[in-house]
Structure 1
Amino acid sequence: MKELTETFQQETGIKCETIVASSGKLTAQIKAGAPFDVFVSADLKYPNTLFKEGFGEEKPKVYANGTLVLWTTSENIKPSLEILSEENITHIAVANPKTAPYGRATEEFLKKAGKFGDLESKFIFGESISAVNRYIHSGSAEIGFTAKSVVLSPQMKNEGKWIEIDPSQYSSIQQAALLLKSKQTETIKNARKFYEFLFSAKAKKILEKYGYWS
């Protein structure tokens, strides 16, 4: 998102401020009147909910699909599904399935693999994918499930080891955007420009660099 907003600002001169939290938390804030202009979510569920309740200018659209990875920053661990059951793995970071789409994807994948029940006692839940990343990076969890965009980001690109989870083993993580209603004419005009930029060829190229696919 940082590269997307910086590129947009360079092209238009319109300054962007990003507020980062779980999709569920941001939805609650928008309902409570938070002055946001564009809601960029890691799933389609929450933008659809907001649109149905009258918070959006138009129906939300999917701008990219996310990919789930298993990531560790421990030198002694080689990430794999099998290693999760070993005794030296005592904490597995997972995004909360109730509030975060990557958490729902993780739960779906592990249930399909027949591992969820066996591993459940090891889970450390993060409210968002950002919290999960902190657990993994700090070593609070030996390993965890996160977004491919995280391990490909400039800050984390050479940190630890990761494997991609087969996308056919969980439902698509559809990243969606919703243009929110505003009473300010200039605000909605600028917000729409950013919203449309998310679906441009230039934005798509940036997203692909971080592991997203259309």
Structure 2
Amino acid sequence: MLLILAVWLPVIAQDVKVAAAANLQSVMKPLAAEFKKQLGISIAVISGASGNLTAQAMNGAPYDIFLSADVAFAETLHNKGYAINKPTIYASGSLILCSQQPIDAKKWKALLTDNATKKIVIANPSTAPYGKAAMEVFKAGGVLNILKPKLVYGESISQVNTYITTGVVSAGFTTEALIKDPQLKTKLYWLKMDSSAYSPIKQAMVLLKAGKHKADARKFYDFLLSPAAKRIFKQYGYR
């Protein structure tokens, strides 16, 4: 057993550690595959809410690169001296309303406020930008106070997606990437929310000083801005 560990641990250590916002969970798989195909470099993805990943990076987590779901958390790491570079936007996301029940685009507020709709899940707005965007939509639509008693908070978008796909909640607000994921097996109805009702979800990245693989991390950083990566992002509903 000790011999096996001695051989295996150095292999793990060679992977570029990418702290990625939970909304990127599905798109990271094809991105990692294409990156390895082009350059032969593997990445290890650590997924979570952007706010939680930011806190981990500030507490010494040895991440090489951070892909945030917004610009603010990436700016925090840069302003406090944890990042090598200023944030760079790599994609923009879209907020959708999603349910296992049909959604009428003209009556989505009536659907959510109806007594038959018991629970609505959003990501924690203090740590997840998509949760913050959902709250902005509620305020803009004048339904925040009505919906508050129904709201369930997921730790991250990945938890929100689990609640939606398993039917634990009546509806939820998430990223368009969920619908574009080819591995999605659950039949879902969805509606893209009016982008003017919430702040633009511009997703930014930074290279981190604590990382151990700065050269390879820079290669992945550059790859994410390449035409090949942009095509993959587009396939998953990002702009």
TM-score by length of 1: 0.94
Quote the Cα distance in structure 1 between the aligned partners of 2:211 and 2:152: 41
**Residues 167-211 of structure 1 deviation map (CA, whole Å, 9 limit, x = unaligned):** 111110011111111474xx1000000011111111111111111
Quote the Cα distance in structure 1 between the aligned partners of 2:56 and 2:187: 33
Quote the Cα distance in structure 1 between the aligned partners of 2:50 and 2:120: 21
> 1:141-160 maps to which residues of 2 (within 5 A)?
141-156=169-184, 159-160=187-188
- Deviation at residue 139 of structure 1 after TM alignment: 1.1
Quote the Cα distance in structure 1 between the aligned partners of 2:61 and 2:103: 43
Q: What does residue 99 of structure 1 align with?
A: 127
Q: What does residue 64 of structure 1 align with?
A: 91
Matching of residue 198 in structure 1 with residue 198 in structure 2: no
Q: What does residue 55 of structure 1 align with?
A: 82
Of 118-127 and 152-161, deviating more is 152-161
Matching of residue 22 in structure 1 with residue 19 in structure 2: no
- Identity, % of aligned pairs? 42
Is there any run of 5+ residues in structure 1 with no aligned partner, and where? none
- Deviation at residue 35 of structure 1 after TM alignment: 1.1
Partner SS for 1:81: helix
Quote the Cα distance in structure 1 between the aligned partners of 2:87 and 2:222: 12
Is there any run of 5+ residues in structure 2 with no aligned partner, and where? 1-27
Q: Which runs of 4+ in 1 moved over 6 A?
A: none
Matching of residue 45 in structure 1 with residue 69 in structure 2: no
- Deviation at residue 159 of structure 1 after TM alignment: 2.6
- Deviation at residue 78 of structure 1 after TM alignment: 2.7
Q: 1:56 to 1:146 in 2, by over 3 A?
A: same
Indicate if the aligned counterparts of 1:71 and 1:143 stay in contact, CA closer than 8 A. Answer: yes
Indicate if the aligned counterparts of 2:165 and 2:186 stay in contact, CA closer than 8 A. Answer: no
Indicate if the aligned counterparts of 2:130 and 2:201 stay in contact, CA closer than 8 A. Answer: yes
RMSD: 1.3
Q: 1:183 to 1:161 in 2, by over 3 A?
A: closer
Q: What does residue 9 of structure 2 align with?
A: none
**Residues 23-61 of structure 1 deviation map (CA, whole Å, 9 limit, x = unaligned):** 011111111111110101111111100001111111011
Q: What does residue 180 of structure 1 align with?
A: 208
